[in-house]
Copies of this chain bind each other. A is one copy, B any other.
Amino acid sequence: MPGELDRLDIKILDRLQIDASESSSEIADRVGLSQSPCWRRMQRLKDEGYVRHTVAILDREKFGESMFIFAQLKMSRLSDEDRDRFVHAIEAIPEILEAYTLFGELDVMLKVLAPNIGWYQNFTFRTLLRLPGVEDVRSTATLSELKCTHRLPLPSLPA
């Protein structure tokens, strides 16, 4: 609901998703406000949930080799209870960074961070295929990262 946001709010949010370590006065300068109203807006935007959290993005290459692998899962029909078990299991596996339900033939897409292909092979057989309801796994391994941002395209409000 961007109906409650004006252009200054949008600018502030965009600054925050580019660099959340800037001070409220720096952001105030950039968006054309003075420190206290800018700080009040930042506070309100956090309180109202526009900002989910503030995190450090680490350089994964610093921790040795690793690769993202996209895994598409074919699922059997699940009871609500099994579906919950499945979601909780995914939550508990730190190498699964993202999970989405899908349109179409396959049912779930996972983004997995694997140290190497050997690790992933074990992971497929010993973890993924043992999750509740998982019938089949189709995997796509990545070679290199061309782009990776967390900056959402924000609405550019009219006058």
Which residues of A pack against B, CB within 8 Å? 1-2, 13, 16-21, 48-60, 62-64, 68, 70, 72, 87, 90-91, 94-104, 106, 108-109, 113, 140-155
Give Cα A154 to B148, complex, Å.
19
A7 CA to B106 CA, complexed, in Å: 40
Specify the chain B residue showing the minimal Cβ separation from A51: B56
- Point out the residue from B21, B64, B146, B147 that lies within 8 Å of A2, measured CB to CB: B64
- Contact between B102 and A17 (Cβ–Cβ < 8 Å)? no
Give Cα A37 to B151, complex, Å.
32
Please determine whether B100 and A143 come into contact, CB atoms closer than 8 angstroms. Answer: yes
> Quick check: A140 and B102 within 8 Å, CB to CB?
yes
Q: Which B residues touch A106, using CB under 8 A? A: 140
Establish whether residues A2 and B63, one from each chain, have CB atoms under 8 Å apart when the complex forms: yes
Counting from the closest, the 4 A-B pairs by CB-CB distance are A16-B56, A100-B142, A99-B146, A94-B153
